[in-house]
Structure 1
Amino acid sequence: MKSHAAPPLIVTMGDACGIGPEIIAMAWARAALGPAVVCGDVQVMRRALKATGLVRPVACLESPLDLADVPEGTLPVWQPAGLPAGTAELAWGRVSGVAGAAAARCIEAAVAEVMAGRAGALVTAPIHKEALAAAGVPYPGHTEMLQALAARHAGQAEPPPVRMMLANDELRVVLVTIHVSLRRAIELLDTPRILQTLRITHEAGRRFGIAHPRIAVAALNPHAGEGGLFGDEERTIIAPAIEAACAEGIAASGPHAPDTVFMRARNAQGHPGEFDFVVAMTHDHGLIPVKYLGVEQGVNVTLGLPFVRTSPDHGTAFDLAGTGRADPASLIAAARMARRLANA
C-alpha cells in the first residue's frame, strides 16, 4: 500500500466511444499520470485496457481518497453513481447520447470531488460535443460546463469568468472568445471582455511562476487594421483594453499583427520568445498556431476556475478509437501541467 501526501489527480474518462479511455490506460501503464484516480465506468476502462493490449487488474474505489489502498499495478477507477447502463457495449467511433450522458456525469462527479478537496486537480479526457447534445446536456463543451458547475458548488448566482488557454513548451495562447460562430465572436468582443482576459492571463502567469508576465495582444484584423483601413476594432475596442491593463500594472502590448505575433512569442531553441502569453480574439486565430506545433504536447487549461483543470488539446479521434494506436502524449502533458499548477 502507498500513501500520498497530497490529494490525487482525478481524470475523467471522456467519451467512451472515443480514445479517452485508451489514452488514460496507456498513460497510467507508463506511470506517467502520477498519483491519479480515473473517474469513469469500470467496464469501459476494462475494455480500454483490452484494446491497448494491457493485461492489468482494475480496482473499483468508493472514493478517490481510497487510492492509498490500491495494490501496485492495479488501475484505480472511481465509478460515480448515476452512470447509464451499457456504456461499455457501445460501438467504437460512433456518436452516442449514452456516451455523452456518461461523460457529463463523470465531469459533474469529478468537479464535486475537487471542490470538496478530495482530489487535487482535474484532468479531462476528450468529450464529443454532438454526444453531449444528444444526451440533452445544455453546454457546448467542457469549458462552459465547468464554469457552470463551479458556480453551483460555490453557491454563486453568476459563473466565474473563465478563459481557455492552449499551451505547449513553446507557446501559450489565451482566447477572448471560444465556442461560438466567428460572426458571433466578433459581436462579443468589447473592451471589458478583453480587459478581463488580460487580468486572467496575468494571474495565470503568476501561477506559472512568472513574476511579470509579458502578454502580447493579437489584433483581430489583417495588419492590425492598418490604421483603420481594414477595420477599426483595434482602435476602438482592443487598444483601450490594453491601455487600461497597463494602468493596472499588467505588462500587455499590442495590438500586434496576428500573422506574425505568434512567431515572435514562440520560445524555441535558439529563439527565446518575446512574450510569455499571446491573447487572441477568436478560437481559430489562437489555436491554429499552437496546434501546428504539434498536438502531442499541447495542453488545454481553463483559467479562472476555483480549481485546476487541464486536458489534452485533441478530440475524441473516433477514427482511432478501439485500435490501441492513439498517442497518450498530450494527456501525459496535461497531467504534468495539472500537478505543476496545483502545487504552485
Structure 2
Amino acid sequence: MSCTSCSSTINGIPKGCKSNGSCNSGNCGKMTVVDWLSNMTLPSNQEKFDLFEVRFKNGRKAFYRNADNLSIQMGDVIAVEGNPGHDIGVISLAGELVKLQMKKKGVDQKSKEILKIYRKASQRDIDIWIEARDKELDVQRKSRLIIGRLGLSMKLSDVEYQGDGTKATFYYTADDRVDFRQLIRELAGTFGIRIEMKQVGLRQEAARLGGIGSCGRELCCSTWLTDFRSVSTSAARYQQLSLNPIKLAGQCGKLKCCLNYELDSYLDALADFPNTDFKLFTERGRASFQKMDIFQRLLWYAYDENPIQWHKLTVDQANEVIAQNKKKINPPNLEDFSLELESVSVEQKLFTDNVGQDSITRFDKPKNKNKKRKNNKRRRPQNKNQKN
C-alpha cells in the first residue's frame, strides 16, 4: 500500500517509508495501477498508444497526449501543458492500460480537450517545482487568516501550486454558495499569482488529505476507492448495527463507505426472515419480536405479558407459526419450539492450544494460597537450624 504522507515533506524525502522516493509498493502515489502488460510486446503493425496518465499532488491524475513522440516511460518527471503555462507531474501509467482507465473514467480518446506533453522536466523545472511546493503550507496558513478576516463560511482544505509557480488552486468545502470575489482579489494581491478556487465535497476532501480509519488501515477513498456511492442508515439497520453517529461516521463526517461492502450478503441472508413487525399469536398470548442473529438464523420473541422472558426460535419455526396464524390456527405456546431447538445436539468446537500459546484467561484464575502456606512451613525449620 502506498504512503500517504510523502507529499507533505519539505525536501522531497518520504516521511513514512524513508525510501527516498522509491517505495517498496511501486511509488509514493495513491491509487496506483500496476502495469501488468509492461513485459508484453504489441502485435505487429500496431503503434504505441500516445496517451499517458500523469500523477500530480495528492493522487490527482489526468491524461496527456504525447504529440511529439517523446521517448518517455513510467516514472519520468515531465512538463505538461497548463492553463496557462506548464505543470510538472510524474507519469503513473503508460501503454494499453491507459485505454482501460480512460474508458473507466469516461474520457474520450479523440477529445480536443486533452492537453499535450511538452518535454521531460529539466533540472531548472524541478527546482522551480520544488520551490513552489515548499510555499504551499505557508500560503494555506495565510489564506485561512484572510478567510477568517473576511468572515466567509468556507473551509480551505488544501493549496496546490502549478509546476511553474504562476498559478495556485485552492480547494475548499462549504455548505452554501460562497461569494469569494473579494477573497480572490486579496489572494492575488498578496501572493502575486493566478488564483483558481475549486469546491470539493467532504469525501473528496478526506480522499485528498488521507488518514487512518477506525479499522487501523488507510482510508479507502485515498488508496483504492474511486466511486463514492450514497450510504444510508438503512444499511446499518440491515446489519443490526446501533445507530450511533459517532461510530458510523468516517473522518469526512459522512456515513462510512464500508457499510455498503457487506450489505448484499446481509440482504441475501435476510431474504427468508419473517417481518419483525409480525406478532406471533399462541393460546398463551401474543408474542413480539425482540432481537435476531442473522448468521445463526435465530430469533427471540417474548410474550407481551412477560417481556423479560425470551424464547428462542429458528427462522423456519417462526415462519411456521406465522403460517398457522394466517390460517387462524394458534399453537399452544412458544416453549415447545424452544425445547425442540434445545434438544438438537450441536457440536461445539472448543479452543485448543495447538501452538503452545498461553490462555487469555490465565490471569483470571485466583492464586492458590495453600502453596504459600506450604512454602512458609518448609522455610521455618531452616531458620531454626540456622539459629542452633
TM-score by length of 1: 0.21
Structure number with the higher helix fraction is 1
Query: Highest CA radius of gyration, 1 or 2?
Result: 2
